[in-house]
Homo-oligomer: A and B are copies of this chain.
Amino acid sequence: MAGRIVEVGKSLHARGWAPATSGNFSARLADGSIAITVSGAHKGKLEADDIMRLDPNGSPLEDKKPSAEAALHVQIYKAHPKARAILHVHSVPGVALSRVIKGDELVLEGYEMLKVFPGITTHETRLSLPLVDNSQDMDDITSALSSRLKDVPAYIIRNHGFYVWAESMSQAENLVEGLDHLLQCEIETRRISQ
């Protein structure tokens, strides 16, 4: 799994989704532990040593420092028992939209690409993704999300980026591609709608 996360890091970084040392990725292993990127590693240049294990509550199982956002991964795995992979990336359209949209949701409606999300079978869907304020205290974010995670496939942190999760790493990668495409379409539409 470390090798798979290293490979995903290269791919996501190459697409511009993990600039500098931003972004963080994890997988839930068969024994329920979590393999997650360590704090501060450049995601396009990960090595096996940059992946470490946590228990299901987020306690390190190795003497390394996990991603500062590990608590967000822990929360998602608890809310979504089938999730086996989580990817957090920094998306320019996502950040820009989050700066102009007030309120706590980002709505995507009518797009065929919404079908990338599990359970969505038609473009005639109004998908409301939680849009929560950023904080350096992960408790603020987990609190804001605590009652909202169950029925959504992703969320956006204002001025920061988005989180997606899925039953496999490949499917999680698809969600990153799909959601970024949707956010690009949304922002392009807004630009020519003014």
Q: Which residues of B contact A90 (CB under 8 A)?
A: 112-113, 181
Are B123 and A160 touching (Cβ within 8 A)? yes
The answer to whether A72 has its CB under 8 Å from any CB of chain B is no
Interface of A is mostly: helix
Binary per-residue interface labels of chain A (87-124) against chain B in the complex, 1 for a CB within 8 Å, 0 otherwise: 00010110111011000000000111100100001111
B22 touches A113 (CB 8 A): yes
Among A90, A93, A112, A190, the one with the most B-chain Cβ atoms within 10 Å of its Cβ is A112
Q: Would you give the shortest CB distance from A7 to chain B, in whole angstroms?
A: 13
| Interface membership of A20, Cβ < 8 A | yes
B192 contacts A100, CB within 8 Å? yes
- Measured CB to CB, the closest approach of chain B to A110, in angstroms, equals 5
The segment from A75-83, A142-150, A171-179 that touches chain B is: A171-179
Distance in angstroms from A114 CB to nearest chain B CB is: 9
Identify the 9 closest CB pairs spanning chains A and B, nearest first.
A96-B188, A19-B177, A112-B160, A20-B174, A20-B178, A20-B116, A96-B189, A19-B181, A95-B185
Residues of A within 8 A of B (CB): 16, 19-22, 42, 90, 92-93, 95-97, 99-100, 110-113, 116, 121-124, 134, 136, 157, 159-161, 170, 174-175, 177-178, 180-181, 184-185, 187-194
In whole angstroms, how far apart are the Cα atoms of A49 and B10 in the complex? Answer: 27
Q: How far is the CB of A168 from chain B (nearest CB, A)?
A: 12
Judge whether B160 and A116 touch: CB under 8 Å: no
Bound together, the chains give a CA A90 to CA B192 distance in angstroms of 19
B188 in contact with A93 (CB, 8 Å): yes
Residues of B within 8 A of A16 (CB): 181
